[in-house]
Amino acid sequence: MSTLDIRNPANGERIATLPADDAASVAAKAQSARAAQPAWAARPLSERLECLRAFRAAVVAQLDALAVTMTRETGKPIRMSRNELNGLLPRIDFFLAECERSIAPETVYEEGGMREQIEHVPLGVIANISAWNYPWFVGCNVILPALATGNAVLYKPSEYSALTGLEIARLLHEAGVPQQVMACVVGAGEVGSALLAQDVDGVFFTGSHGTGRRIAEAVGSRFLKLQLELGGKDPTYVCEDADPKAAAESLADGAMYNTGQSCCSVERIYVHEKIHDAFVEAFVQAVGGFRMGDPMSEDTYIGPLTRRPQLDVLAAQVADARARGATVLTGGRVGGGAGNWFEPTVVVNVDHTMEIMREESFGPVIGIQKVRDDAEAIRLMNDTRYGLTAGVYTPDEARARRILSQVHAGSVYWNCCDRVSPRLPWSGVGDSGVGLTLSKYGIQTFTRTKAWHLRQAG
Ligand code: NAD
């Protein structure tokens, strides 16, 4: 039987060895899910929502232990692990409150004995292939509304957060979701590939652009529902009328929170030349206050990177920027020892010839570029193949709206960043993906619309 080793990214030590799935076990789980889904869909919505309610209560009751598991396998600082679990609760509350309304059948026409109705029916069996950086958020954004709307879910957590993935499945089973309706498959990319080969009705993926592209190629000809939530190179522009210190403190957090490993981390910053130097000084000071260390420690802000190969990506971006004339104001080095440590890094005198301003860093590294005016900022913000989020800092709402309406991104922020709301759709444009989660549309997305044309006899 094949196995999956789970390692602690803070020190490289093996913390668990899990039995992994193979093509045969994935196929067996897919067949069981197919067989079990109609009975699950036939249960009243209130019963399915009751399972979500019980799941929420279990998360609350076991929150501290679940946070420790996540921190040990991903290196997420322990306070941030608890934040993620606490942040999950309002998302569950949103699904509980909105599900019924979002998928209620609608009568859209009624005249002369003719009635027209729209019904939302479950897709059937869906595959969810997920990322490790916010395993509870990105997993549950798919799993919970998919189950609530009557689907069976085949869930492949990332190999870097498999213990957490198994915990999500365990709590859902204990909450009353049948094992066959919510099946977890364990393993790396090849297990993901095996999952794609199954008879599924939808594929919901969260991860990198490269893998998203491979998945789209693998299933493209099958006309499945396909959603891809991918990476970004999220820009923010700080106008000259913004408070440089307040903006710097907010954006340093937006760039470095979760050790910079958020899909909506601030990845590049443009600052109006009039306040550039004051902003940079305050930014470096804010970063200097971030404590890097043991992720289990309560005062740690910067932990290890979850994936070791990312150390090379960050080192290469910094080296490329240096070689092209950038200045590294702080950080820039791989830390010593067996863990995956990279110093929080601030780079200035950057431009768009440099990888640091073009390719996703996904780590505690930021480039800050000086701009002359709004037009230059807009041009640079749009000079990317990605389009996940973008932000503007200015006290002037009209100016922010004017700028952000010209920026290609799924979510835009005024005087805030690195923020996700269950009430708003989460989506990307361009290479940041297709489809969406969250909001009422992120509930409906797990259904297909069925049109009813009903004529009264006689
Ligand atoms: P990844 O693409 O390496 O892996 C994601 C998942 O795909 C994992 O479960 C992995 O095992 C699986 N996989 C790998 N190869 C596969 C294949 N050939 N077929 C099927 N499955 C395969 O990404 P990651 O490192 O886990 O996540 C980081 C990326 O995710 C970043 O780019 C980040 O921006 C992005 N992300 C996006 C969002 C969003 O909402 N847009 C949210 C979180 C993370």
What is the domain-level CATH number for residue 131?
3.40.605.10
Ligand 1 centre from 206 Cα, in Å? 5
347: CATH:
3.40.309.10
C-beta 189 within 6 A of ligand 1: yes
C-beta 229 within 6 A of ligand 1: yes
Mean pLDDT of 160-175: 98
424, part of any domain: no
Please tell me the distance from the alpha carbon of residue 50 to that of residue 52, in angstroms, as a whole number. Answer: 5
% the chain with pLDDT above 90: 99
User: pLDDT class for 458, splitting at 50, 70, 90?
Assistant: confident
- Report the C-alpha dihedral over residues 240, 242, 245, 246, rounded to 10 degrees: -160
Nearest-CA residue for atom 19 of ligand 1: 193
226 and 246 belong to one structural domain: no
Would residue 167 be called left, alpha or beta, if left means φ above 0 and alpha means ψ between -120 and 50 degrees?
Answer: alpha
Ligand 1 centre from 227 Cα, in Å? 12
Q: Is residue 119 annotated as a catalytic residue, yes or no? A: no
Q: Are 342 and 311 in contact (CB under 8 A)?
A: yes
Among residues 229, 267, 359, 360, which one is catalytic? 229
Please give the pLDDT value at position 1.
77
425, part of any domain: no
- pTM of structure: 0.97
pLDDT 10s digits, 297-327: 999 999 999 999 999 999 999 999 999 999 9
103 and 52 belong to one structural domain: yes
26, part of any domain: yes
Please give the pLDDT value at position 450.
98
Q: What backbone torsions phi and psi does residue 25 show, to the nearest 5 degrees?
A: -70, -35
395 and 444 belong to one structural domain: no
198 and 250 belong to one structural domain: no
423, part of any domain: no
pLDDT 10s digits, 207-242: 999 999 999 999 999 999 999 999 999 999 999 999
161 and 86 belong to one structural domain: yes
C-beta 201 within 6 A of ligand 1: no
Domain that holds residue 360: 235-416
pLDDT exceeds cutoff 90 at 336: no
- Report the C-alpha dihedral over residues 46, 205, 425, 391, rounded to 10 degrees: 150
Closest atom of ligand 1 relative to the 157 alpha carbon: 9
405 and 371 belong to one structural domain: yes
Give me the number of domains the chain comprises. Answer: 2
